[in-house]
Amino acid sequence: MSISLESIRWCRSFCTNRPNLIRQSMNSQMEKRANLTIRAILLICMVFSALQTVRAANADEALRDAIRQTFEAAPELRETDVSGVYARRAYTPLWQSPTRREQLLTALADLTHDGLDPEHYALSQLRQDFAHASNTEHRLAAELAATRNCLLALTHLQHGVLDPVRDGGYWRGPNGAAPTLPAATEALAALADNDLDALFARFRPSTPLYLKLREALITARQAAPNAWPQVPAGLTIKPGKRDDRLPGLRTRLIASRHLGSEHAAGDQMDDALVEAVKTFQRENGLEADGAVGPATLHALNMTREARLSSLRINLERARWIAPHQRGNHVMVDVTGYRLSYFSDQTERWHARTQVGMPSRETPELFSRITHLTVNPTWTVPPTILKKDIVPKASTDPNYLASRNIRVFDRDGTELDPATVDWSRPGNLTLRQDFGDGSALGKVAIRFANPYAIYLHDTPNQRQFRRAQRTFSSGCVRVENALDLVQLLLEPGGDSHLARFDKALTSGRTGNLNLPQPVPIIVAYLTAGPDDNGRIVFRQDIYKRDAMLSAKLDQAGKSIADKKL
């Protein structure tokens, strides 16, 4: 029996709708006479379906052979991650299912919410390649390109686009490495049906910091480009003063819901407007004095594009630190002037900090806290000796003695400060003994790093009241530092706490090892959560954002040029 092309087309349509057709046929008056015809049609449909299955199987087998031959013919490709995926799958294709292809395209498009550009992962090109993959050659190109870009996306979500040490200025100690994370090649090779969304979710950081930054980016993208009006530049607007710019300031603060609409009119800085400005200043890490000076004006006039850029930069930073945010750990948020003690991702304790001034920056690093110095002495760093101590000691004979600072030569012999030629002091060491007013307070908390920085107590408690606290020479001053010590010693039980208390009350300087090292992250974030968990934009106190933004731009342009 020969089957015409029209019959095959009719059979294909019938197979698609056969439940309804069969039901209609069975209900017709010709039910008995149709039985034989239906059997014949069903047989034809089964044959047609089998032919389609065989054809697809042959095509998949041809693609599988093409994938294997591609890597066998090019030894330089055998060590690549893409090759690793297919080797683990016995070269079985990944992207021949229309459903999985659509999942990949959707997952790549959603990278925009992570501050990543989907086009850096060839989204449009992949969509076009999938639509026109009509032969083995085209299917092979689309298959390998999809795998390459999926691996890149997963890796960048998990670790960041840039390297935190090479590109971000981080120092990582020998014991500061992050825990081992799942490999993208192994995870993708083992991918099950309809599991791609879960795979991207698993590789995307799940820390509260990352998720809040991501949510803030989504919200910022939805805002209109000029949602908040600009306040014109000019002299500082102080409480009680009149200024032609105040109607614009009121409009701006009403738009961000810092001021009620009933206060829209007025050219004087009245109490309601001052309080609104103070609230805005507190939320943005500024001195809450109610005056609109250059820093407050800059924050008020931050454009939508600037906010998007800041969120993109800080999502990258959050990807760097996310692998380290596990178990018990300490995190110093430099621009947030905050130290937190975490158990896993739950903050158990936090305190205000003072960090390095712009000329003596607090560096970013990953390390491990190993020990404490109780009743610490302070050896004056060379920079402070040269820039701060020597000029004062040369003009005030009692300056060193009043601060319990002693002078030693290169051999360790103590010198009388009066005998030193402070115009040419030479190779001297200055050390402050422990006591009232000691620069390091009652405890220094030590961790390996090449900058000779540490956490420490401080007698300068009043400075914690300031909103911007860049007062140190790079070390981190911690408010209520003894409370942090209690947490660090907690795993050792009462015996470690008793040893610390005994050492502290003795008044003698000595070291005490922690019962177990505690990881520490010193991070620089110019967008981060406030005390209420809301993302706020902070001052770029060390001017690091522009360089990181440029490096991200450059990396994005080079991604497409990478080989398999």
Residues labelled as active-site residues = 456, 475
The radius of gyration of the chain from alpha carbons, rounded to an integer in Å, stands at: 33
Provide the CA 421 distance to its chain's centre, in angstroms: 50
HEC-encoded secondary structure of 547-561: HHHHHHHHHHHHHCC
- For residue 17, the one-letter residue type is N
- Cα dihedral sign, 290-293-296-297: positive
Q: Do the Cβ atoms of 407 and 400 come closer than 8 Å?
A: yes
- CA neighbor of 320 nearest in space, from 162, 192, 166: 162
> Phi/psi at 511 (nearest 5 deg)?
-100, 150
Q: Which amino acid is at 65?
A: D
Angle at 204 between CA 201 and CA 207, to 5 degrees: 110
CB 242 within 8 A of CB 347: no
What phi and psi, each to the nearest 5 degrees, are found at residue 558?
-90, -15
DSSP state of 386: I
Report d(CA 162, CA 547) in Å as an integer: 12
Strands 365-374, 328-333: pairing kind: unpaired
**C-beta pairs of 225-231 under 8 Å, 24+ apart in sequence:** 225/304, 225/305, 226/304, 227/255, 227/304, 228/252, 228/255, 228/256, 228/300, 229/255, 230/301, 231/292, 231/297, 231/300, 231/301
How many angstroms separate the CA atoms of 303 and 473, rounded? 33
Q: Residues, the chain, total?
A: 564
Query: What is the residue whose two structure tokens read 């998990």?
Result: 158
Q: Which residue has the tokens 């305190």?
A: 351
